[in-house]
Amino acid sequence: MARLVGINHVALEVGDLDEALDWYGRFFEFELRGRVGGRMAFIDLGDQFIALAAGRTQLADGARHFGLVVDDKEAVRSAMQRGGVEVQAAGSLDFHDPWGNNVQVVDYREIQFTKATGVLRGMGLDGLEKSESAQRELRDKGLAEAVRSDGVDHVAPDSPGGDPGGAGDGVD
């Protein structure tokens, strides 16, 4: 049986692609990975992407949603409030876009989801660190990596594949 590894992309149905790109561009900094005419646009997320597909065919989402990871959740909240989007003043940051997609915005620093150092660097996000609570959650699951001052990821000694004696990776 195959094991789930991650999510490559999420596809959202919107009305007009250009309107959707403009709307999302009011709140998020992003680059387009590509387009397929007026049917699809691909928002780059480093090693993942969001596919926007023209032609919403269903009613607005209720409980169904997806979590969008950002480097600064509160900056998004402020931009949305200034832009007239109804969001809570604090805590969870959830919104419906004009086409009914239900999106929850989460801060990279506060969650277990982790990008490889090279991906963060390629996205211009070097130095984006996890909070202590997120690091603890990762360690508790055996998923933490130690990043040393040389900028190279090294398996933490207490994680699977790690060397409790400190030998074997050639780094002290």
Residue 27 is part of which domain span?
9-110
Look up the pTM and report it. Answer: 0.80
Residue 4 located in a structural domain = no
Residue 81 located in a structural domain = yes
Residue 144 pLDDT level (bands cut at 50, 70, 90): confident
How many domains does the chain contain in total? 2
For 44, counting Cβ atoms within 10 Å of its Cβ (0-12 exposed, 13-18 middle, 19+ buried), the class is middle
Residue 122 located in a structural domain = yes
What is the DSSP secondary-structure string of 17-47?
HHHHHHHHHTT---EEEEEETTTEEEEE-SS
Residue 48 located in a structural domain = yes
- Same domain, residue pair 63 and 93: yes
What is the DSSP secondary-structure string of 50-76?
EEEEE---SPPPSS--EEEEES-HHHH
Residue 17 has pLDDT above 80, yes or no: yes
- Same domain, residue pair 127 and 44: no
- Please count the CA atoms within 13 angstroms of the CA of 155 that sit on its side-chain side: 15
- Same domain, residue pair 125 and 89: no
Q: Contact at 8 Å (CB) between 147 and 118?
A: no
Mean pLDDT of the region 72-93: 97
